[in-house]
Amino acid sequence: MIENYSDLEQVSMEPETAPKNTFRELLSEAVKTLLLALILYFAISAVTDRVRVENISMQPTLYEGELLVVNKLAYRFGEPHRGDIIVFHHNSQPPEDYIKRVIGLPGDTINIQNGQVSINDRVIEEPYISAEAAYQGSWQVPDGMLFVLGDNRNRSSDSHVWGFVPQQEVVGRAVLIYWPLNSVRILSHDDIVQAYP
């Protein structure tokens, strides 16, 4: 008979917990992660678009094959500026998205003479073009429209050929080149803004 209970080893009498269903937890976490990824994808897609440059009309600013981020909200909360690089729906057959630089805003008079572009009789500096335009003409930009040109002036189908871009057809403003990595940079409209304050 044992009288000294202190000599007895204390044995835990807690019931053993059943092993958790790890497969169910793993599946639940995978579903949550997938849902979060989908929400983020659609949220990012509502604000931005990703486009690929398909031709040479914007050289030397943009080169064929480069991938861009386009801010789709740029003109919901603001107005286009001269020098912005925009993506817009063009009514070609089949319909395509084009990328060009905004030169003229509603009410502007655009003149191209002797290779120089003037806005409302003021010649602008354009360090971003590949060569001066070999064509000439004059355009008055109507309300709700934009006058756009490619930086590769003599190899670009743009407003000097087919007219103005309705503002409601603008997808957004190109803000960033993200591929290839050696071309990564933010796209700015400062050059033309400085030339035309």
Catalytic center residues: 57, 100
Check: CB of residue 127 under 8 Å from CB of residue 34.
Answer: no
DSSP bridge partners of 137: 112
Question: What is the maximal distance between C-alpha atoms in the chain?
Answer: 119
Which H or E element spans position 36? Answer: helix 22-47
Q: Are strands 165-166 and 145-149 parallel, antiparallel or unpaired?
A: antiparallel
Q: 27 is written with which tokens?
A: 């599946």
65 backbone φψ class: left, alpha, beta (φ>0; ψ -120 to 50): left
Pairing between strand 109-113 and 116-119? antiparallel
Strands 96-104 and 109-113: unpaired
- Residue 60: strand, helix, or coil: coil
